Structure 1
């Protein structure tokens, strides 16, 4: 990729633009490493590996590519079976320590039995026929975390100064993309850890059977702020909460944690009904400048006065309406006039609504990931959810949740999903 008439510079810039564009397509570390290995073959090497270090400095995950796909099995056999490669290890360590590329202009045909055990590993090495190698450190934001290894085979000469400079630039761009993916992965793991730590097992109050489910989105970067909660109040009322914070990732998970804690604290020992609790949550969000926008539904489930079953009292801040599965398998939707979301500045009173839940009936609360499958509308999605519930009245709450998710979500979804089901036990 060099020329005295300037053609080489044009090709170089075009190649680097392709590298940058390709490496910004994903925020998954493994995918980005695979892409980097493929991009340098055959332009800079016949065979390449990307080695990323684990947190303790030991080799972690890696990627590889070969200009001839038929030789990938040989690459894998060699990488998995080599015992040690003293010169390679020293060169790799030197590249990491110095931050500069290290070149081996000549690789011995026989590294010795301590590096190449007899059998498939040695045979793979001989078929690969490596003749020279270049180790380029992967560094970003002042930290070295891996090495790009470029191997040339057969009659191909070692990399010259122009190729070394190009490899350094490719490694620089690759390192930045990989570091972005690593940082984003850490954020996602933190979000998932925070979210799962808050989605605790539900209580089992006398006469009720409570089950919950959380299913993350198919794409990790869509991990959001869906949550559920269920807890008993001192007066014997069971409080049920389900909600969805706007946004995705760490910010949404952190906002969800704040909001969940606020709802739980304000609802626990207060005589207020659900609507009053949501009003108080709104004041907390505004007063503390949390800046969170969310839907939420707060419900109280208490023994029905003078009779069997339970009295459901609820208020919804822009959330999906509750569904009730009857003992006869009929599903009714407890629709109410829409009210404002949490975190908005719009004025307006919130209202409590009531419904009786008879013995043998199951109350089901869900987030929009369950009803907006395939980008269908809310009304269509609620109808589909009701159809998925139909016929499940004989199941325990846990089994009902599993069957509902299987029916409504045959595959993974583009949004996370929370489900809270409460069955009023007969008798």
Structure 2
């Protein structure tokens, strides 16, 4: 961290601008609230304080998350011991409340060297306080969009003098920039939770019709801005067929999750009791999207697993794809085949064209596997390479139940952190 230069007022001002630019650039690197709070605490140490904490309030006004930093990493354990073990801190609580309510910094230029037992219990907590040796503190509110939601606490220790007017003004500006960054992260996190909640509420457990074993998996993207568009669905029709759907809405976040919910409901409704096959369902969905001006683009695959015809346990799989990845079939011996068909347009694309149904027999012991592109394109592989990798990972898993097969497939293909949503739907013919 740069310190003020000694070449007069102009040099001090340049250094201040450089420091504030560094603060702004660092705090805009992440939309994760915890990461941004940690970064803010580190940015003010040691320039403005020997020890700093960032305290963020929860939505109901109760204490929420916090972050801390110390100029001496060896004293972080003392900071943690003090923060976790103090019984009460009436002086600090009053200063925090005053800063939040007034929107102005609260400066305590002298701290009592020997606090009473109501604030510091004997033992490790008092020993930590003595090691830290705090002498003054500055509480600066964190605000954005007209409301306060946290406090930046700056503590100076030992023989370091209290902050002067210039440092107080600089701390206020740092807190202003930090407040904007943290509020953006909080709002983005709230949006992400809405998208995840909406998506998970729609990804329901599959049915288990006689003669079939169904399993599904969904893994959200680790990156906060990539959640929202993948879905699966499975349900029975009155004619005895089991309908399978998998798809991926173009886009991410709350908008994609809302579009996914709308599209999933449309496909489910139109596929349930219509005499149409999968291609007819997709055609009807296209008409709905166009007629209602929904403006959603998505890949989707609709499949019917037909009931046995009475001559044996063999099933017929009938499917149609709107630009989605082809189905995979794992045979009873562990081999995998890809049911590739000529590509057809995505849902929501305003282009003429006839959708087609395709059929194949599914024998007892075979497993149909449908996936989204988050599984195929992991590691930035192209589609052909990714499909080959997924097929290779499926090979030899025919003895596993459908649930265990999905888990093993994800373990073999995905890293611990994935950059895109992943949905998997597996159907074993018994």
Q: Which residue of 2 aligns with 1:174?
A: 178
Aligned to 1:311: 316
* Alignment match of 1:130 (pick from 120, 131, 134): 134
Per the TM alignment, residue 2 of structure 1 is displaced from its structure 2 partner at its CA by 7.9
Give the conservation status (yes or no) of the 8 Å contact 1:85–1:111.
no
The alpha-carbon deviation at position 5 of structure 1 amounts to: 3.0
Distance in structure 2 (CA, Å) of the matches to 1:412 and 1:43: 35
Partner of 2:121: 117
In 2, are the aligned partners of 1:315 and 1:350 still within 8 Å (CA)?
Answer: yes
Q: Which residue of 1 aligns with 2:24?
A: 20
Alpha-carbon contact 1:285-1:291 (below 8 Å) kept: yes
Q: Give the Å deviation of 1:154.
A: 1.2
Q: Report deviation, 1:335.
A: 0.6
1:194 matched to 2:198? The reply is: yes
Match of 1:321 in 2: 326
4+ runs of 1 displaced by more than 4 Å? Answer: none
Please point out which of 324, 329, 332 is paired with 2:337: 332
Aligned 8 A contact 1:2 1:162 in 2: no
* SS in structure 2 of the partner of residue 6 of structure 1: helix
| Mapping 1:16-415, distance limit 5 Å | 16-305=20-309, 307-308=311-312, 309-415=314-420
Residues 410, 63 of structure 1: alpha-carbon distance in 2 compared, 3 angstrom cutoff: closer
TM-score normalised by length of structure 2: 0.97
Give the match's secondary structure for 1:224: coil
More displaced stretch, 76-85 vs 22-31: 76-85
Contact map agreement 1:324 1:361 (CA 8 A) in 2:
yes
Q: 1:110 to 1:2 in 2, by over 3 A?
A: farther
Contact 1:322 1:365 in 2 (8 A): yes
C-alpha spacing 1:387/1:2, structure 2 compared with 1 (3 Å): closer
Q: Distance in 1 between matches of 2:424 and 2:356?
A: 23
CA distance in 1 between partners of 2:86 and 2:5 (Å)? 35
The superposition leaves residues 226-285 of structure 1 with CA deviations (integer Å, 9 ceiling, x where unpaired) of: 100000011111110000111111111111101100100111110011111111111111
Equivalence for 2:425: 420
State the distance in 1 between where 2:392 and 2:67 align.
Answer: 46
Residue 304 of structure 1, CA deviation? 4.3
Q: Tell whether the 8 Å contact from 1:278 to 1:317 is kept in structure 2 after alignment.
A: yes
TM-score (norm 1): 0.97
What secondary structure sits across from 2:304 in the alignment? strand
Matched positions, count: 425
Q: Distance in 2 between matches of 1:407 and 1:152?
A: 51
Measured on the aligned residues, the alpha-carbon RMSD in Å equals 1.2
Give unpaired runs (5+ residues) of structure 1: none
